[in-house]
Amino acid sequence: MMKKIFILITACVLISSVSDAQIPIISVITTLAKKVLNALDLAVEKLQNETIELQNVQKAIENEMSQLQLDGITDWVQKTKDLYSEYYQELSEVKQIIADYDKVKQIISLQEKIVSEYQSAYALFKQDKHFSAAEISYMYNVYSGILDQSLKNLEQALLVVNAFVTQMSDGARLNIINSAASGMQKNYNDLKQFNNQNIQISLQRAADANDVQTIKQLYGLQ
């Protein structure tokens, strides 16, 4: 009998410690997000410098072509365009990469929302008397799974930022960014759906009108 009581107490302590714990992966996500942003800032700064240089070249080319047109040398205008076409192409590519990096920032922003909403909702569910310790533990596991998937999407974003332009084609870079963005959006949607389901469960378990009102106040519902 004493052995059974000891096992029961131990199980309760373990469940309680899990329900009160912060998911360890949060610190990993936070660290990686900062790493991505730092790498992103350095990459964008470099690309912006390249853009300025290329725009200066573009301006010089356009001035030269304008002068040639004034002089009526139309064949030289075309030759100049052909000669410096690679500059225009490179400028276009650099601008596209900067636009892609803006998408990476949006991915990081969505990751931050996932972490923030998880922390807020999980803290409220632990205060809700309608959920047992076992159910809180289950929530912990679900949140861990969602956050783990979001970390993998964040790692994809870092892969894009760390890759040199010559090492990754435009198509490959865009595919990875789109995949990471789509995955992160799914993580966010799954989190919102899971939170809403739990709130509805709590409302269904309410004993009376006053209990319903208490729950609504807890979750900030109208």
b (16+ CB within 10 A) / e for 178-204: eebbebbeebbebbeebbeebbeebee
Instruction: Count the helix, strand and coil residues of the chain and give each as a percent rounded to the nearest 5.
Output: 90, 0, 10
Provide the 10 A C-beta neighbour count for residue 96: 13
What are 80-139's pLDDT values in tens digits? 566 556 656 666 666 677 777 788 889 999 999 999 999 999 999 999 999 999 999 999
What are 35-77's pLDDT values in tens digits? 777 777 776 667 666 666 666 666 666 666 566 565 555 565 5
What are 73-96's pLDDT values in tens digits? 556 556 656 655 665 666 666 667
Grouping H, G, I as helix, E, B as strand and the rest as coil, residue 39 is: helix
pLDDT for 18 beyond 90: no
pLDDT at 83: 58
